[in-house]
Amino acid sequence: MPTHHEPKLIAGNANLPLAETIARRMSLHRGVNQKLVDARVERFNDGEIFVEVYENVRGEDMFIIQPTSNPANDNLMELLIIADALRRSSAARITAVIPYFGYARQDRRTKARTPISAKLVANMLTGAGIERILTMDLHAAQIQGFFDMPVDNLYASPIFALDVKDQFRDQMDDLMVVSPDVGGVARARELAKRISAPLSIVDKRREKAGEVAEMTVIGDVKGKICLIVDDICDTAGTLCKAAQVLIDNGAKEVHSYITHGVMSGPAVERVGNSVMKSLVLTDTIMPTDEIKKAPNIRTVPTAPIFTQAILNIWQGTSVSSLFEDRTLVPIYESLYHTD
């Protein structure tokens, strides 16, 4: 039996299509009309954010769906203010569903006199009255330790594995999973294990942030279909350079699987002009019109796994069970047909 009353969903403006899809899937699962809570999130003329919730939420189990993507500061403030509005309206529990957790790249001090902004954001979320976090592919797993509350970190690799098995069903023996840096080896190894493929690494040396001086491929990629796996694609400069290095080392094709498509600046244009055959993103960040029109970029949905995770949290059942194929395959069976 659920610990709290009915689960209710509310969303900011960061990714309304994802929130609405989650609501539709919850309606399907529960057999009731699960709409987003009626609320308005507006701005005063000077940019101040104002939230008003029109429905009674007293004693309810509330889930705020709001990634902190671009504009990161505005979307973060929307999340905090929505949480405060719910707390002051006597919600029983507030869970922040943050598909993309912004500021996660600032998880440690890399130089003197720099902040650990991810910890600051964690403190702000706690102070707003949020009692649980549900997110996907944190940039660094240790960020979970920044919170004095439960953090459920979902992984995109099980979804990517289903997509790979569907897209490359006749070429599985030719696949090679590639980590674009040493720090992402664990993430790439997880996908490699799921699809029974070997692993390679592109070792990169940076002179300064955002600029790569040199890249070296560790592993034999000659004649292989390479799948680059990473959590964030921002300007796509490093990704496109890694794809070129793999081709230069004899790779037959290069495809990329990225969880969070930040895709700022010239990213889409770079990907379009690169040697990459395809770039696969999840919809944790709402894709722009430019991304939707790009011929070699496509998105895979995260609503099925987020919906089931929300239901499991509400019902007090396991969230980690969603990392197993026997649980994940049924909720994605309409998209990927497996034997």
The pair of structure tokens assigned to 107 is 């998880």
User: How distant is the alpha carbon of residue 215 from its chain centre?
Assistant: 26
- Distance CA(269)–CA(236), nearest Å, equals 9
159-195 residue pLDDT tens: 999 999 999 999 999 999 999 988 899 999 999 999 9
Examine the pLDDT at 208 and tell me if it is beyond 80.
no
237-286 residue pLDDT tens: 989 999 999 999 999 999 999 999 999 999 999 999 999 999 999 999 99
Q: What is the pLDDT of residue 3?
A: 47
Q: What percent of the chain has pLDDT over 90?
A: 87
Helix ranges restricted to H, 89-170: 117-127, 157-167
Residues carrying an active site annotation: 204
pTM > 0.75: yes or no: yes
Cis peptide before 180 (omega within 30 of 0): no
DSSP character string of 323-336? GSHHHHHHHTTTT-
Q: What is the pLDDT of residue 245?
A: 95
